[in-house]
Chain A
Amino acid sequence: MIRRILTTLAVTLVAAAPLAAQLGSHNPEPGPRETVAIRGARIVPVVGEVIPVGTVVIADGRIQAVGATVTIPTGARIIDGAGLSVYPGMMDAGTSMGLAEITQGAAGTVDNSETGNWNPNVQAIWGIDPHSAHVGVTRVAGVTHVISHPSGSILAGQAALINLAGYTAPAMAVVPRIASVLELPGAGGRGGRGGFGGGGAAATPASGMTPLDSLKQLLEDARAYAKAVAAHAADPSLPRPTTDLALASLGPVLAGEMPVLIPANSESQIKEAVAFAEEQKLRPIIMGGRDAWRIAAYLVEHKVPVIYENTLGFPTYEDDGYDAAYAAPARMREAGVTFAIGSGEPNPDVRNLPYHAGMAASFGLSPEDALRAVTLWPAQIFGVGDRLGSLEPGKIANVVVTDGDILEARTSTRYLFIDGRDVPLGTRHTDLYDIFKVRK
Chain B
Amino acid sequence: MKTLATLVASLVVASGVAAQAPAPPTLITHATVLTVTNGTLTDTDVLLQGGKIAAIGTGLRAPAGATTIDATGQYLMPGIIDPHSHMMSDATNEGSLSVTSMVRIADVLDPTDTHIYDALAGGTTTLNILHGSANTIGGQNAVVKLKYGRTAAEMLFPGAPPGIKFALGENVTRKNSGRVIVVGQPQPQPRYPSSRMGQEEVLRDAFTRAIDYRRSWEDYRARVAKGEKNLVAPRRDLELEPLVEVLEGTRLVHAHSYRADEMLMLLELADEFGFTVQTLQHALEAYKIAPEIARHGAGISTFADMWGYKIEAYDAIPYNVAVTMRAGVLSTINSDDDGRARRLNIDAAKLVRYGGLTDDEALATITINGAKQLGVGDRVGSIEVGKDADVVLWNGHPLSVYSHPLTTFIDGEIFFDVERDKAKRAALEAERAELEAAEPNKVPTPSRGGAGRGATPPADSTWESRR
A429 touches B114 (CB 8 A): no
Kindly state the separation between the CA atoms of A102 and B403 in the bound complex, as whole angstroms: 33
- On whether A437 and B287 interact (CB within 8 A), knowing A105-B176, A352-B305, A362-B402, the answer reads yes
User: Which residues of B185-205 have CB atoms within 8 Å of chain A's CB atoms?
Assistant: none
B310 touches A102 (CB 8 A): yes
Q: Which of B176, B323, B346 has the most chain A CB atoms inside 10 A of its CB?
A: B346
Q: Would you give the 0/1 interface string for A301-339, flagging 1 where the beta carbon is closer than 8 Å to chain B?
A: 000000000001111001101110000000000000000
* B259 interface residue per 8 A CB criterion: no
B287 touches A103 (CB 8 A): no
Give the size of the chain B interface in residues (CB under 8 angstroms). Answer: 50
- On whether A411 and B353 interact (CB within 8 A), knowing A105-B175, A321-B425, the answer reads yes
* A126 interface residue per 8 A CB criterion: no
Name which of A189-197, A246-254, A291-299, A343-351 contacts chain B.
A343-351
B309 touches A104 (CB 8 A): yes
Name the distance in Å between A146's Cβ and chain B's nearest Cβ. 16
A349 touches B353 (CB 8 A): no
Residue of B whose beta carbon sits closest to that of A104: B310
Residue of B whose beta carbon sits closest to that of A326: B404
Kindly state the separation between the CA atoms of A359 and B176 in the bound complex, as whole angstroms: 33
Residue of A whose beta carbon sits closest to that of B401: A358
Q: Would you give the 0/1 interface string for B329-354, flagging 1 where the beta carbon is closer than 8 Å to chain A?
A: 00000000011000100110110111
Name the distance in Å between A341's Cβ and chain B's nearest Cβ. 13
* B437 interface residue per 8 A CB criterion: no
- On whether A362 and B353 interact (CB within 8 A), knowing A314-B339, A436-B287, the answer reads no
B318 touches A437 (CB 8 A): no
Residue of A whose beta carbon sits closest to that of B424: A321
Q: Would you give the 0/1 interface string for A382-418, flagging 1 where the beta carbon is closer than 8 Å to chain B?
A: 0000000000000000000000000111111000000
Q: Pick the residue among B289, B308, B314, B401 that contacts A359 (CB under 8 A).
A: B401
Please indicate the chain B residues that have their CB under 8 angstroms from the CB of A348 in the complex.
306-309
* B386 interface residue per 8 A CB criterion: no
A439 touches B290 (CB 8 A): yes
* A276 interface residue per 8 A CB criterion: no
Please indicate the chain B residues that have their CB under 8 angstroms from the CB of A323 in the complex.
121, 404
Q: Bin chain A's interface residue count.
A: 35 or more
* A363 interface residue per 8 A CB criterion: yes
Kindly state the separation between the CA atoms of A233 and B78 in the bound complex, as whole angstroms: 73
Q: Would you give the 0/1 interface string for A211-244, flagging 1 where the beta carbon is closer than 8 Å to chain B?
A: 0000000000000000000000000000000000
Please indicate the chain A residues that have their CB under 8 angstroms from the CB of B319 in the complex.
429-430, 432-433, 437
Name the distance in Å between A346's Cβ and chain B's nearest Cβ. 6
Residue of A whose beta carbon sits closest to that of B425: A321
B352 touches A409 (CB 8 A): yes
Q: Which of A133, A312, A348 has the most chain B CB atoms inside 10 A of its CB?
A: A348
Residue of B whose beta carbon sits closest to that of A408: B401
User: Which residues of A126-141 have CB atoms within 8 Å of chain B's CB atoms?
Assistant: 133-134
B401 touches A361 (CB 8 A): yes
Please indicate the chain B residues that have their CB under 8 angstroms from the CB of A359 in the complex.
343, 346, 401
* A369 interface residue per 8 A CB criterion: no
Q: Which of A318, A322, A412, A432 has the most chain B CB atoms inside 10 A of its CB?
A: A322
* A355 interface residue per 8 A CB criterion: yes
A409 touches B401 (CB 8 A): yes
* B288 interface residue per 8 A CB criterion: yes
Please indicate the chain A residues that have their CB under 8 angstroms from the CB of B326 in the complex.
437
Q: Would you give the 0/1 interface string for B273-302, flagging 1 where the beta carbon is closer than 8 Å to chain A?
A: 000000000000001111100000000000
- On whether A408 and B308 interact (CB within 8 A), knowing A367-B402, A436-B323, A439-B290, the answer reads no
Which A positions have Cβ atoms within 8 angstroms of B? Answer: 101-106, 133-134, 312-315, 318-319, 321-323, 346-349, 351-352, 354-355, 358-359, 361-363, 367, 407-412, 428-430, 432-433, 436-437, 439-440
Q: Can you list 8 A-B contacts with CB-CB less than 8 angstroms, sorted by A residue number?
A: A104-B309, A105-B311, A314-B115, A346-B309, A348-B309, A410-B399, A410-B400, A433-B322
In the A-B complex, list the 5 residue pairs whose CB atoms are closest, starting with the nearest.
Answer: A358-B401, A348-B308, A409-B349, A104-B310, A410-B352
